[in-house]
Amino acid sequence: MMGLSLILKQEVKISKKQLLNSLIASFFFLIYGNGVFVWALKFVDSGFGALIASTQPLFVLFILRFMDRKPFQKKSIIGVCLGMFGMYLLVSQKELITSKDTLLGIFMMLSCVLSWSYGSVFVSKAKLPKSYMVTTGVQMIFAGIVLSLMSLGFGEPWSSPLIWSIEVKVSMILLIVFGGIIAFTAFNFLLKKVSPEKVATSAYVNPVIALCMGWYFLNEQLSNQSIIASIILLTGVYFITSRKRK
C-alpha cells in the first residue's frame, strides 16, 4: 500500500497526530477487531461468526447514540428489537453451543464487533492522512508487526508460503488483493465520506455469503433456526440503516 502511494505520487508524510490516530484505528480494526475474531473462529462456525459480525450496525447506532446523543428514530427502535431477537435465536441453538469454548468464541466475537464499530466511529471523526492508501498501509504495517509478535508469543506454528497448498495460496492472494488493498482502502475512504452507520451496511452481504459458503464448502450445519434468525437480524439491520437522517 505504501509502495502504491509512492508510485501514484501521493503524499506519504504524516504528522504525529495522524500517525497516532492511524495506530489507534489499527488496533480497533485489525489487531483486536480482526485478529481476535479470526482466533475465535476456532470455536465457532464461519457462517455463524459472520452472522454475529452482521450486528455491527446495531453497535454503531448505540455508540453514536452515546457519543453524539443522536435520538433513536422509529425505524431504529424496530431494527434494534429485531436485531436482539435475531441474536437470541442464533445463540440459543443447542447444536451450536457444543462446549464452553463455543460460548467463549461467541463472546469474543461480539467484543470484536464492538471494537470494529467503535473504530468506525473513531475514524470518521479523527484526523488521518489525506491519502487513504497511506492510512491503510500504516494500519496494516503496525497490525502486521503486533500480530506477528503475538503469534510468536503464543507459540503458533509458522510455515513457508512455498509449502502452502494451492487452495491456501489462492485464498491469501484473494484476501490481499480484494480484502486488503481494495476493500479496506474503500472502507477507510467511505468512513470519511458518509456516516459510519451507512458504511456498516456491508454487514448486509457478508454474513449471507459466508453462511452459504460455510455450508457449501465446509459442510457446516445450516439449520432452519439459523436461516430464520439471519432473516430477522438482517431485517433489523435494514430498518436501522434505511432510516432517514434528521
Are 202 and 237 in contact by the 8 Å Cβ rule? The answer is no
Query: Number of C-alpha atoms within 13 angstroms, CB side, residue 199?
Result: 24
What are the residue ranges spanned by the domains of the chain? 16-156+164-241
Question: Region 204-217: what's the mean pLDDT?
Answer: 74
pLDDT for 72? 66
Here the cell at position 32 is 483486536
* Model pLDDT for residues 22-75, shown as the tens digit of each residue: 999 999 999 999 999 999 988 887 767 777 887 787 788 788 778 877 666 777
Split at pLDDT 50, 70, 90, the class of 21 is: very high
Three-state secondary-structure class, residue 157: coil
Are 14 and 134 in contact by the 8 Å Cβ rule? The answer is yes
Are 108 and 40 in contact by the 8 Å Cβ rule? The answer is yes
How many C-beta atoms surround the C-beta of residue 179 within 10 A? 13
pLDDT above 90: residue 18: yes
Are 1 and 134 in contact by the 8 Å Cβ rule? The answer is yes
Three-state secondary-structure class, residue 44: coil
Q: Whole-model pTM?
A: 0.76
Question: Region 181-209: what's the mean pLDDT?
Answer: 77
Please, what is the end-to-end C-alpha distance for the chain in angstroms? Answer: 37
d(CA 80, CA 233): 9
Q: What is the dihedral of CA 140, 142, 143, 145, to 10 degrees?
A: 120
* Model pLDDT for residues 60-98, shown as the tens digit of each residue: 878 877 887 766 677 777 877 787 787 677 666 655 555
d(CA 132, CA 140): 12
Split at pLDDT 50, 70, 90, the class of 20 is: very high
Split at pLDDT 50, 70, 90, the class of 119 is: very high
pLDDT for 216? 84
Helices (H), the chain: 2-7, 16-26, 37-40, 46-53, 56-68, 74-91, 100-125, 132-153, 166-174, 185-193, 196-199, 205-217, 224-241
**What sign for the dihedral angle of Cα 199, 169, 141, 49?**
positive
| Nearest Cα residue to 176 out of 134, 136, 135 | 136
